[in-house]
Amino acid sequence: MDFDARLKKAIERGEKARDQRSLEAQARELSEEERRNLHAGFRIELSDYIEQCLRKVVDHFPGFDFQTVVGEEGWGARIRRDDLQLSAGRSNSLYSRMEMLITPFSTAGSILELTVKGTVRNREVISRKHFYKLTDVDLDLFRELIDQRALEFAELYSAAS
């Protein structure tokens, strides 16, 4: 067999492999309803975990108000605290808060997104977004991210108090 014949066969094998991978990828793609259900399951599990973590932070720092968040902005929880600082005839209002939310499902992107915002004594200290494709989500990794952000906030708050 000469080189040209072997080259054509190699090209055909490559095209068949590409077509096979394309068919497998299409089979793995989820319908919108399946993606919506998958997102809802992840959202419920992770929003419960967020609530647990932030309740523990509140237990260690008296004065924080805990609030479950369920709405258009997402599902999760927020904690907040207002302090009054008195000094030399004047007063300052200082607020601290932390919010962790799983954003709502969007048909535009098949992702699971965690948004985290934290403010300590009127200064924004945390603003992060973590996201993964729904088909690639690792719940243990998301739980670890939630833990890390809650611990980061607790450390920053205790350092500023």
pLDDT digits (tens, 9 = 90+) for 36-74: 899 999 999 999 999 999 999 999 999 999 999 998 999
Query: Do both 16 and 81 map to the same domain?
Result: no
Query: Do both 60 and 106 map to the same domain?
Result: yes
Query: Do both 94 and 23 map to the same domain?
Result: no
Query: Do both 100 and 140 map to the same domain?
Result: yes
pLDDT value, residue 152:
96
Q: Does the pLDDT value for residue 151 go beyond 90?
A: yes
Query: Do both 11 and 49 map to the same domain?
Result: no
Query: Do both 39 and 14 map to the same domain?
Result: no
Return mean pLDDT, the chain: 89
pLDDT value, residue 21:
79
For 18, the domain range is 1-29
* More confident call, 25 vs 127: 127
Cα 145 from Cα 147, distance rounded (Å): 5
Query: Do both 15 and 37 map to the same domain?
Result: no
Q: Does the pLDDT value for residue 96 go beyond 80?
A: yes
Query: Do both 79 and 24 map to the same domain?
Result: no
Query: Do both 102 and 140 map to the same domain?
Result: yes
pLDDT value, residue 4:
82
* More confident call, 92 vs 143: 143
Specify the number of domains making up the chain.
2
End-to-end, the C-alpha distance of the chain in Å comes to 80
